[in-house]
């Protein structure tokens, strides 16, 4: 993928080390390959890039500091104005602007940057490395330390290219993955390889590592005398500002359109601003995502491209998902790989992630689906999150070495919640949901395309994040702001299926039910094909059926029912066998559980 990499190893031939990392980041779409090496101090840094956003030559070297940058910075004019106000220098690139501001205000410069980015700054005289990534952590950095050696990269595989980086499974990540669907916080499935959390700053100097809090996203509602209409007006201004800034790059933009609220609002806003953009949707045959997206695009007369996923895409894409995501993404959630094909049409894919995270509260969801434990909000949320293998089955599922750490997930969750907000539990839960759960869901899609396409996330605009997280809680309930924005930009979209104003009449429901009864009888007497009574399809709900159909079923059974499977170091074979049989016989829906088991086993096979 486009990414940064670096290694500090004074006792090794540093050029060879840096080159080993570089080769792991390259792809056939890479346009930029830049590197800086200093053998005298044992430091090597570099970047691989698609050459779409950051096209200026790097590194920039200024006053004994060098900088490498990847990603999208959308407020260069604002940054330039700050430099001009306090300095006589006239920088020619955003990299130079950042270095000048870094000299003036230090780490606070990272708070000024608007966009998705990752930055490495090496202070030559101080022999100090500084790493940072944007508010939402959309361009993550991973790192490892071993003795007097340190390495970092945008992908784990570049760290593994160094033969001194240990390969060992982190048992904490295993119990997190199987219980909650993802490792919590900074850990990965690799022991001793960690992720720099979003909004945090890493400093490595003379063998010492320090993680400092920089610009972490927290929810801090402020008292406000503004009316609902005024809040909607402010949100509208910031969303439009975000979109206009992203179209300034001049790159060919496309919009993924699922038909859900987030992308629906973006399409309506683009139309309102007269920002022409092709839309792209994928799904299986009969997908309601495709049907809704087509209606929405036709409504504003935007070019729309719809593509069909094959029934075996889970099996066919699994290896590519593991290669791209290194165990950080469920191997079944591979449909996003399809967007790679859009490179023939666009350079940058605009996505609708983030709207739901910012303009709703997690309590809207878990209070409806979880038994509330009085006066124990953390415990209530813990059970809401534990939706994969439930805690009560862990003694039957996990082997003894995993059972020894079964208290870890609860303690880690509670520690993170207290870190985000030690006083207000609801705000702590919203911050955890945003920074950990939802960010990982967003990254699931980005990992699959960012080695081919650049991406842009209008909802994860810095100013929009700061505004949304300061809103009084009543304006984040039930996505009130987004619904109002959709009605402002194009109310007709709200009446299309999936919109909040869509409502079938009693007569329409009666006609549909009656027609279905007739079709079911015709199928029963073999006068009509079964496909005519198939339920509406959507990308995520399709997974339940796909896992039970060949060739996916045979593939899953051949892996999980194999007595020599590597995951049986962590889970008990008999329990897994019974679970797979119950799922395949449609006795119970264990799609999520099978997904995590397959992810773990395929990860172990590929990396160990």
**Domains of the chain (ranges, CATH numbers):** 3-213 (3.60.20.10), 228-358+448-494 (3.40.50.620), 368-437 (no CATH), 506-607 (no CATH)
State mean pLDDT over 241-270.
Answer: 95
Query: Confidence band (pLDDT; 50, 70, 90) for 531?
Result: low
Look at residue 369 and tell me whether its pLDDT is greater than 80: no
Give the model confidence (pLDDT) of 463-486 as tens digits: 999 999 999 989 998 899 999 999
Q: How far is Cα 227 from Cα 105, in angstroms, rounded to an integer?
A: 36
pLDDT in tens, 195-239: 999 889 999 999 999 999 888 899 988 888 899 999 999 999 999
Other CB atoms within a 10 A radius of the CB of residue 497 amount to 13
pLDDT given for residue 553 in this prediction:
93
Q: What pLDDT, on the 0 to 100 scale, is given for residue 439?
A: 84
| pLDDT higher at 170 or 549 | 170
Q: What integer pLDDT is reported at residue 533 of this predicted model?
A: 53
The confidence score (pLDDT) of residue 438 equals: 82
Higher per-residue pLDDT: 283 or 408: 408
Closest residue by Cα to residue 540 from 314, 323, 353: 314
Q: Can you tell me the mean pLDDT for 434-453?
A: 87
pLDDT band per the 50, 70, 90 thresholds, residue 528: low
Beta strands in 271-379 (DSSP E): 279-283, 304-308, 348-350
What integer pLDDT is reported at residue 249 of this predicted model?
A: 86
The whole-number pLDDT of residue 18 equals 97
Mean pLDDT, rounded, for 455-459: 96
Provide the pLDDT confidence category of residue 541 given band limits of 50, 70 and 90.
low
Q: Has residue 532 got a pLDDT over 60?
A: no
> For residue 538, is pLDDT > 70?
no
pLDDT (average), residues 505-511: 61
Q: What is the pTM of this model?
A: 0.93
Give the mean model confidence (pLDDT) for residues 102-112.
Answer: 94
Q: How many helices (H) and strands (E) does the chain have?
A: 25, 17
pLDDT of 445 strictly over 90: no
pLDDT, residue 190, reads: 96
The larger pLDDT score, comparing residue 385 to residue 310, is at 385
Q: Are 292 and 496 in contact (CB under 8 A)?
A: yes
Given pLDDT bands bounded at 50, 70 and 90, which one contains residue 159?
A: very high
Write the CA distances from 147 to 16, 150, 207, 233, 435, integer angstroms: 19, 8, 8, 54, 30
Mean pLDDT of the chain: 90
pLDDT of res. 57: 93
Kindly tell me if the per-residue pLDDT of 91 is higher than 90. Answer: no
Q: Provide the pLDDT confidence category of residue 332 given band limits of 50, 70 and 90.
A: confident
- pLDDT (mean) for 431-437: 90
Tens of pLDDT, residue by residue over 52-87, are 999 999 999 998 999 999 999 999 999 998 887 766
Q: Residues 561-605: pLDDT tens digits?
A: 999 999 999 999 999 999 999 999 988 889 999 999 999 999 999
Q: What is the DSSP string of 545-587?
A: HHTTSTTHHHHHHHHHT-TT-GGGGTB-HHHHHHHHHHHHTTS
Q: Helix (H, G, I), strand (E, B), or coil: what is residue 16?
A: helix
Q: What is the pLDDT of residue 312?
A: 85
Give the separation between CA 366 and CA 385, rounded to whole angstroms. 9
Per-residue confidence (pLDDT) for residue 283, from 0 to 100 = 84
Best CA proximity match to 6, nearest among 159, 113, 146: 159
Given a cut of 90, whether residue 194 has pLDDT beyond it is: yes
Q: What pLDDT is recorded for position 600?
A: 96
* Whether residue 536 has pLDDT greater than 70: no
């Amino acid at each position: 993928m486009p990414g940064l990499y670096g290694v500090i190893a004074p006792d090794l031939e540093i050029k060879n080390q840096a080159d080993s990392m570089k080769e792991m980041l390259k792809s056939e779409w890479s346009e930029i390959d830049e590197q800086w090496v200093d053998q005298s101090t044992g430091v090597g840094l570099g970047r691989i890039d698609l050459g779409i956003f950051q096209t200026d030559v790097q590194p920039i070297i200024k006053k004994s500091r060098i900088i490498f940058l990847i990603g999208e910075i959308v407020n260069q004019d604002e940054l330039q104005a700050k430099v001009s106000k306090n300095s006589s220098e006239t920088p020619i690139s955003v990299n130079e602007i950042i270095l000048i501001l870094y000299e003036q205000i230090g780490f606070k410069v990272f708070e000024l940057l608007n966009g998705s980015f990752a930055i490495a700054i090496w202070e030559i005289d101080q022999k100090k490395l500084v790493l940072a990534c944007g508010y939402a952590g959309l361009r993550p950095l991973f790192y490892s330390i071993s003795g007097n050696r340190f390495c970092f990269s945008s992908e784990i595989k570049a760290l593994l290219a160094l033969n001194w980086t240990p390969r060992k499974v982190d048992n904490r990540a295993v119990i997190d993955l199987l219980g909650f669907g993802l490792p919590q916080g900074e850990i990965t499935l690799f022991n001793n390889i960690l992720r720099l959390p979003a909004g945090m700053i890493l400093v490595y100097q003379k063998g010492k590592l320090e993680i400092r809090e920089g610009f972490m996203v927290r929810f801090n509602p402020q008292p406000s005398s503004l009316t609902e209409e005024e809040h909607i007006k402010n949100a509208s201004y910031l969303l439009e500002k975000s979109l206009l800034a992203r179209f300034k790059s001049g790159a060919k933009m496309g919009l993924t359109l699922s038909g859900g609220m987030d992308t629906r609002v973006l399409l309506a806003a683009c139309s309102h601003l007269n920002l022409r953009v092709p839309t792209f949707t994928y799904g299986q045959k009969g997908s309601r995502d495709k049907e809704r997206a087509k209606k929405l695009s036709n409504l504003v007369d935007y070019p729309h491209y719809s593509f069909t996923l094959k029934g075996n895409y889970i099996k066919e894409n699994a290896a590519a998902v593991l290669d791209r995501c290194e165990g950080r993404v469920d191997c079944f959630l591979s449909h996003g790989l399809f967007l790679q094909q859009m490179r023939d049409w666009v350079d940058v894919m605009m996505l609708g992630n983030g709207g739901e995270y910012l303009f709703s509260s997690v309590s809207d969801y878990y209070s409806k689906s979880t038994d509330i434990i009085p006066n124990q909000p953390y415990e209530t949320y813990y059970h809401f999150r534990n939706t994969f293998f439930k805690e009560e089955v862990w003694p039957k599922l996990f082997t003894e070495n995993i059972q020894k750490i079964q208290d870890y997930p609860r303690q880690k969750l509670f520690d993170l919640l207290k870190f985000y907000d030690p006083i207000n539990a609801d705000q702590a839960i919203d911050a955890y949901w945003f920074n950990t759960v939802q960010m990982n869901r967003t990254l699931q899609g980005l990992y699959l395309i960012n080695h081919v396409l650049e991406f842009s996330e209008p909802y994860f605009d810095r100013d929009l994040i700061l505004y949304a997280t300061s809103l009084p809680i009543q304006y984040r309930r039930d996505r009130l702001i987004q619904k109002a924005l959709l009605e402002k930009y194009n109310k007709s979209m709200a009446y299309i299926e999936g919109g909040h104003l869509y409502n079938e009449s009693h007569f329409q429901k009666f006609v549909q039910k009656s027609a279905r009864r007739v079709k079911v009888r015709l199928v029963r007497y073999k006068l009509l094909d079964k496909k005519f009574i198939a339920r509406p399809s959507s990308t995520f709900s399709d997974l339940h059926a796909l896992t039970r159909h060949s060739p996916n079923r045979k593939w899953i059974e051949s892996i999980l029912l194999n007595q020599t499977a590597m995951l049986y170091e962590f889970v008990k074979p008999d329990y897994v066998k019974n679970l797979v049989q119950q799922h395949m016989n449609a006795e119970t829906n264990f799609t999520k559980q099978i997904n995590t088991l397959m992810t773990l086993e395929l990860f172990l096979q590929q990396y160990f």
